[in-house]
Amino acid sequence: MPDRVAEAMARLASVEPTLCAFHEVFRTPSLEVDPSLPFAGMPIAVKRGERRSHREALVAMGCVPIGLTTTPDGSTPWQTWGRNSRGLTRNPWNLDRTPGGSSAGSAVAVASGIVPLATGVDGAGSIRIPAAWCGVLGLKTTAAERAAVGVFTRDPSLLATYLGITEVSTPSAVWSTDLGFAEVDDEQASIAWQAAAALRPRPVSLLLEDPASDWFAGRCGPNPALDSLFETTDLLLTPTTPGPPHGHDGPGSRVNTALTWAFNLSGHPAISIPAGFDPCGLPVGLQAVARHGREADLVAAARAVLRNHPIECFGPNPPR
């Protein structure tokens, strides 16, 4: 078994009983890989129920899937939890907090250092929210429909390889704390704003309509306010979430998707970048949104923000 796959399986055996990130672990991961492929022999985790074509594309790049990650099982709200037969999927930074969802297990698999890359599907923030709360990168790609595929990782260079990007330039950026309608904790906004400083954004008075009714009605398509904004800038920066990860008893009345789901309707690519930690030691995310097809600008943003702050692979008190 190649070293990287063996290391991933050993790490999984160590932390999985506590974190419950996997719905299914493959007993004999496929190991026949062309060494010339860009991801030759790299272990990955795959979100349960994800599009088969996305997984096959990564395998064609040399990835070795080691298992299917947890998603909500129908007994709990889709926004919050992952679950397997052993119980709730837990946030590696604080086991009493949720990792977010619905791509919960994939975010935890990367954040806890099991795999360097995991897949996800983002229908309202299902990649970006768990990425923010688990302190990793979470990319949603451009899509013409509400749900978009993407990945989690700790390494911006893996994002570039995944996307086939060889060169990036420095993008221009603007900042909006709340998109004009969301209720965002001051602490989340402050930490995200400090991280955003690496991109030197200028604040804008963006007034979007709350997308809740359009999202539930499945109304996707152009957003004139965003189209106008992206005529003058490469990136829109916001906090990823309005608040920190909550407990396993649920989010209460807070809408965790408030800052993310508008871009599922408009189809814009977006990423959550680790921005730092709140006073409780919980990760905070910075969201960057780009023009359609301009994922390269998101990679550039991730590199700029993380240039002097590499992502840690698990929390200060990792499960033993």
Active site residues: 47, 102, 126
Which pairs with CB-CB distance under 8 Å and at least 24 residues apart come from 287-290? 287/128, 287/132, 287/192, 287/237, 287/238, 287/239, 287/240, 287/259, 287/260, 288/173, 288/199, 288/235, 288/236, 288/237, 289/235, 289/236, 289/237, 289/238, 289/263, 290/171, 290/234, 290/235
DSSP 316: S
Closest by CA position to 295, among listed 83, 149, 82, 185? 149
Say which residues have a Cβ less than 8 Å from residue 112's Cβ, sequence separation at least 6.
Answer: 11, 15, 19, 21, 92, 313, 314, 318, 319
Beta bridge pairs of residue 149 = 121
Instruction: Please count the CA atoms within 13 angstroms of the CA of 151 that sit on its side-chain side.
Output: 25
Q: Is the torsion defined by CA of 241, 288, 92, 281 positive or negative?
A: negative
Can you read off the two tokens belonging to residue 222? 């152009």
d(CA 60, CA 32): 11
